Amino acid sequence: MMMGYRRLLVLLRREGEPSGINRIHRLYREEGLSVRKRHARRKVVGTRVSIVLEAKPNARWSIDFVHIVDDATKQCLGAIP
């Protein structure tokens, strides 16, 4: 069973020991105790859709915009389509 400082606080309070979470956490750190952090599992987004390639050139066009903005004045200095 993993015994972190929060779990230790619960057990101490059940036994009637009056102590706060900050004190338990400080003592836990001073003793060099730690529990490995659990990492969240990655969520599966779903199936990937394959990219459909056109059979002939110039059948489909795409465009992307680049904006050049001055951070001081927030003016758009240029837009490149």
Residue with tokens 């929060």: 6
Rounded to a whole number of angstroms, the CA Rg of the chain reads 29
The residue segments making up the domain with residue 48 are 5-80
Q: Is 25 helix (H, G, I), strand (E, B) or coil?
A: helix
For 24-53, the pLDDT digits (tens) are 888 888 888 877 777 888 887 777 777 777
Q: Into how many domains does the chain fold?
A: 1
pLDDT at 56: 77
Q: Is 78 helix (H, G, I), strand (E, B) or coil?
A: strand
* DSSP of 45-68: --PPPPPPPPSSTTS------EEE
What pLDDT does residue 31 have? Answer: 86
pLDDT at 2 over 70: no
Q: Does the reported pTM lie above 0.75?
A: no
10-32 pLDDT, tens digit per residue, is 888 999 888 888 888 888 888 88
The stretch 73-81 carries a mean pLDDT of: 68
pLDDT at residue 3 greater than cutoff 70: yes
